[in-house]
Amino acid sequence: MPFLPVTKQDLAARGWQQLDIILISGDAYIDHPSFGVPIIARSLEAAGYKVGIIAQPDWHKDEDFLALGKPRLFFGVSAGNMDSMVNHYTAQRRIRSDDAYSPGGLAGKRPDRAVMIYTNILRRLFKGTPVVIGGIEASLRRIAHYDYWQNKIRNSILADSKADILVYGMAESPIVALARELERGRPINEITDLPATVCFSKEPGEHILPAADKCAEKQIFHQLNRQFYAQYQKHEMYQLNGGRWIKHNPPAPPPDTAELDRIFALPFMNAPHPMYKGQRFPAWDQIKQSITSHRGCYGGCNFCAIAVHQGRHIQSRSANSILKEARKLSGSISDVGGPSANMYKSRCKLDFPDSCPRRSCVFPDICPNLRLDHDAQVKLLEDIANLPNVKHVFVASGIRHDLAIGNKRYIQAIAKHYTGGRLKLAPEHSAPNVLKLMGKPPIERFEAFSKEYFEEVRQAGIKRQIIPYIIIGHPGTTMDDAFALKHWLDTHKIQVEQVQEFTPTPMTISTCMYYTGLDFETGKPIHIPAPGEIRKQKELIVKPKGSLRGNASRKQHHA
C-alpha cells in the first residue's frame, strides 16, 4: 500500500477528484502506528474514506493549507504527538532549539498553540467546512485549564479555537463514528452524543462544572478539577466557556484485544514519507525498532495525564499480533512496552468499573482487585527473542517496580536478558510527603526492588545499572525535602547529571496544585517552590558532568 496522499498529484495518481477527510498535523508525516495522525488516517481509510495528510504546513502562507483542496466531510486538526507548547519551551519557558518530530530534529516547523492557529486558518479559507480538533494538545485542553506559559486559566480549546467538535483520547473509534454521522447527512452541530467528544450545547444538563471565567479564583479551580476527576468517566458534564455551553461526553469504551490487533495491522508503511529525502527524525530513530504492546495506565501519578488521555483500562495486543510485527524487524528490538511495560495483560477483576472511586490501582497500596500477569510479558519477550531475525530484545520504556517486587522469575528475566545494561525506574523523589503529593509509592519499595534486582545481577555475574528518574520542584517540595533527597542519593551512592524540573502541563492534578497552592486531596495549603528555589534544589541534586553513575534525565513527553 502507498503512503497516504499529500499532494494533488497523489490524488490524480489514484484517480480521485476530492478527498473525504484531510488531516492537518504539527508533526512530519511518518507512517507508523506510534504517530497519532497516521493511525487516525489509516483507521479512517480502513472504514472506506479517502484521506489525505498535510504535515507541518507553513502557517505564514495559505498555499500549504490549500494543497489538497476542500474535503467532502471535514478537516481534522492535531498539533502532533506533543502539545506544541511543551514541544517548544523548557520548564524555564526558554525556547527549545530541537523538535524530535521534525526533519533534521530542528525546531520551527509548527507554531505555538498549533491547534488554534491551524483551525483559524482553515476557518478563513474554507468557510462552512467542518473542523474537528484532536490529538494530545486538544485532548488535554478540553475543559477550562491552567496555561503555564501565559500563567492564566484558559477556556476549553474548543471554545477558543472555534472548531466544531473536539475528539479526545485515542480516537480511532470515535473519529470513524463521527465520519459515519456526517456521511449520513447529520449536521455537525447536532452531533452531541458521541463518546470521547466535547461539543457545543444549547443548554446545560445535570452535571455542571464551574464556569471557565470563574476558575481564575483558586478555590473554584480546585473545585473544578476535583469535580472533573470524580465524574468524567461516567457522566456528561457541561461548562460555560466564553458565553457558550460545552458538553463533555464520557470516554469511549477501550478497544478489546481483537480491535487493537486490527488497528496495529493496518497497512502502515513504517517509514517517513519519501518527500523528506532521507532526513533524520530523532523521534523516528527512537521508536523504529520498538513495539507497542499495550495502551493505558492505572498508575495514577499526579503529574501525568496518560490516564485521562489513553484511559486507566489496560488494552493489550495479542502475542500473535506483536510477534507478527516483530518478524518485520531485524537485529535488536529496542523496546517492547507501553506507559509501563509490566502492565501488559494486567486487568481489574471488576473490569475497571466507573463506580470505582480510586484514580490509581497502585497508590497508596496495590488494589486487591488488580490482577497482574508478569508471566505473559516474560513469555512474550522470550518468544520475540527466539525469532530468527531478532538478535536482542529490550524493555526500554520503564517498568513499575512496585508491581514486580517479589516476582523472582520476572526480575531475573529483566536483569539477565531484557534491560540492555540500564533499567529505567521512576522513584521520582525520596521524601514521603512529596511522594504522597505525586501519587508515587514510598521510596522503600524502590529500595526493595533494587535489592532483589541486584541480587539477580550478582548471581548472574553481570554488570547492570538502575537509572532513577528524579523530579524536582513538584508542588509541595521544600528545600528540606531537597536536602533529604540529596542525603538519600548520597547514602545509596547514586549520582545524577540531570533531573526533570516539574512543568505544569494542562489537566494534571499536579498542575492544579501548582496553580492553587492547595493539596488536591485535602484542600489545605502547600508550599509551591519559586523558580529561584527550584534552581537551588537542582544545584543541590545534580552532580557536575564527569562524575556520572546514573543518568536521570528524560524529556517532558505526553504519551
Distance of CA 122 to the CA centre of its chain: 26
The reply to whether omega before 525 is within 30° of 0 (cis) is no
Distance CA 327, CA 229 (A): 41
The residue to which cell 477550562 is assigned: 144
What number of residues does the chain have?
559
Residues 6+ away with beta carbon under 8 Å from 499: 470, 471, 472, 538, 541, 542, 552, 553
Query: Three-class SS of residue 75?
Result: strand
Would you tell me how many other CB atoms lie within 10 Å of the CB of residue 556?
17
d(C-alpha 120, C-alpha 116), whole Å? 6
pTM of the model: 0.94
Tell me 418's DSSP state.
I
Nearest to 551 by CA among 490, 470, 493: 470
Residue 409 pLDDT: 97
Question: Residue 333: helix, strand or coil by DSSP?
Answer: strand
- Non-local (6+) Cβ contacts of 503 within 8 A are 86, 90, 91, 148, 556
Q: Cα–Cα distance between 436 and 432 in angstroms, integer? A: 6
Going residue by residue through the chain, which has 559 residues, state the pLDDT in tens, using 9 for 90 and above.
Answer: 599 999 999 999 999 999 999 999 999 999 999 999 999 999 999 999 999 999 999 999 999 999 999 999 999 999 999 999 999 999 999 999 999 999 999 999 999 999 999 999 999 999 999 999 999 999 999 999 999 999 999 999 999 999 999 999 999 999 999 999 999 999 999 999 999 999 999 999 999 999 999 999 999 999 999 999 999 999 999 999 999 999 999 999 999 999 999 999 999 999 999 999 999 999 999 999 999 999 999 999 999 999 999 999 999 999 999 999 999 999 999 999 999 999 999 999 999 887 888 999 999 999 999 999 999 999 999 999 999 999 999 999 889 999 999 999 999 999 999 988 889 899 999 999 999 999 999 999 999 999 999 999 999 999 999 989 999 999 999 999 999 999 999 999 998 878 999 999 999 999 999 999 999 999 999 999 999 999 999 999 987 654 333 333 333 222 2
- The domain limits of the chain are 8-199, 289-541
Q: Which residues contact 229 (CB under 8 A, 6 or more apart)?
A: 359, 509
- Residue 541 amino acid letter: I
pLDDT in the model for residue 424: 86
- The DSSP string of 365-396 is S--TTEE--HHHHHHHHHHHHTSTTEEEE---
Residues 300-338 as b/e (b if ≥16 CB within 10 A, e otherwise) read: bbbbbbbbbbbbbbbbbbbbebbbebbeebeeebbbbbb
Q: How far apart are the first and last CA of the chain?
A: 28
CATH topology of domain 8-199: Rossmann fold (3.40.50)
Strands (E), 264-308: 271-272, 290-292, 294-295
Contacts of 134 (CB under 8 A, 6+ apart): 40, 76, 77, 78, 166, 167, 168, 171, 175
d(CA 376, CA 116): 43
Rounded to whole angstroms, the Cα distance separating 116 from 147 reads: 14
Pairing of strands 197-201, 165-167: antiparallel
Q: Domain 289-541 falls in which CATH fold?
A: pyruvate-formate lyase- activating enzyme (3.80.30)
Q: Are 8 and 54 in contact (CB under 8 A)?
A: no
pLDDT of residue 286: 94
Q: Locate 226 and state its grid cell.
A: 476535583
Q: Residue 355's Cα: distance from chain center in Å? A: 24
Measured CA to CA, the distance from residue 411 to residue 101 in angstroms comes to 34
Domains 8-199 and 289-541 share a fold: no
Pairwise CA distance, residues 291 & 311, whole Å: 19
